[in-house]
A = this chain, B = another copy of it.
Amino acid sequence: MKHFGDQLSYRIKELQNPSMVGLDPRLKDIPSYLKDEAINQFGKTPEAVAAAILMFNRGLIDAIFDIVPAVKPQIAFYEQYGHAGLKAYEDTIAYAQKKGMLVIGDAKRGDIGSTAEAYADGHLGMVDVFGAPTPMMNADALTVNPYLGTDSIAPFTKVCKEQGKGIFALVRTSNESADEIQGQPVGDQMMDELVAGLVEGWGRDLIGESGYSSVGAVVGATYPEDAHNLRLLMPNQIILVPGYGAQGGTAEDVKPNFHENGTGAIVNSSRGIIFAYLKDKVNERAYADAARNAALRMKDDLNRLF
């Protein structure tokens, strides 16, 4: 039986690489030769944007699939181009999986009842197409927002159980205003600690042979002092850590998200990897090589921690 927590843990170990690459394609930063090719085929349309994004992502995936365990497409950068963009999101997921990568859809969805079911089924599970259960976006895992509480998460954990998928619930985000809600004192703890307790509970029935649950948590890299505490509160959660690299987090900053044996966290970098060719000032046609090199540097940087 497939189990996301195990799959991700083992793949991190196998590749000796606790990192993932965020596929956040900003049109302005995609190499011109790919955009020209897309415009030649589709004109200056959203379909051409989607085609450029997909070509860009395929190049990245081809360059990193054997060294990086997972990719995390941020759906907002696809969805903003409407249905054409969402098609590129779907095709990106399918392509990465074909290459053996795990895919975490970064969608931060959260809603109640049958609406939450629709999100869970559409993003991770199967939807009914005139009587035929059909996988639709089919990511391996999805980020979710906890603000609505346990019953808003239940449809996701149901799909995790039935189909071996995973979720990562937001606990602590890396933005400046995060404290307004997440950093408020509630009784003798902070709101993010309260949420961490909920997340630990949501994941208890989904702990695999690796010791890790298919219910993980998102904890931003910008609050190392909180990260240590949250790590203790969620011993069986894989912590997805955004904020490394372009967002300012260093390897030392993300260290408290790991257990002392160096397991239990996966660090994301988006811009720092996928647009490395801009920073490295290499020819845009070498963008994928530049991404591979940046991914290897990140791997080495993280491996020095333990």
A interface residues with partner B (beta carbon < 8 Å): 24, 26-28, 35, 39, 44-46, 48-49, 74, 76-77, 79-87, 90, 108-116, 118-119, 121-123, 127-132, 134, 136-137, 145-152, 170, 173-182, 184-187, 191, 194-195, 198
10 nearest A-B pairs in the assembled complex, by CB-CB distance: A80-B122, A149-B177, A149-B180, A76-B118, A83-B87, A112-B175, A151-B177, A83-B86, A150-B177, A44-B130
**Given A83-B86, A115-B24: A147 touches B170 (CB 8 Å cut-off):** yes
Partner of A177, one of B48, B108, B129, B152: B152
CA gap between A136 and B24 in the complex, in Å: 19
A173 close to B112 (CB less than 8 A): yes
Is the Cβ of A185 less than 8 Å from the Cβ of B182?
no
Bound Cα distance A115, B45 (Å): 21
Known: A184-B191, A186-B184, A198-B180. A27 touches B149 (CB 8 A): no
Q: What are the residues of chain B within 8 A of A45 when measuring CB–CB?
A: 129
Interchain CB contact under 8 A, A79 and B149: no
What would 27 A/B residue contacts be, using CB atoms closer than 8 Å? A35-B130, A45-B129, A48-B129, A48-B130, A49-B129, A76-B109, A76-B116, A79-B86, A79-B119, A80-B121, A80-B127, A80-B136, A82-B122, A82-B137, A83-B83, A83-B84, A83-B90, A85-B122, A108-B109, A108-B110, A146-B147, A148-B175, A149-B179, A151-B176, A152-B177, A181-B195, A185-B187
B128 touches A79 (CB 8 A): no
- Counting chain B CB atoms within 10 Å of each CB, which of A87, A116, A129, A191 scores highest? A129
Chain B residue with Cβ nearest A121: B80
Smallest CB separation, A294 vs chain B (Å): 19
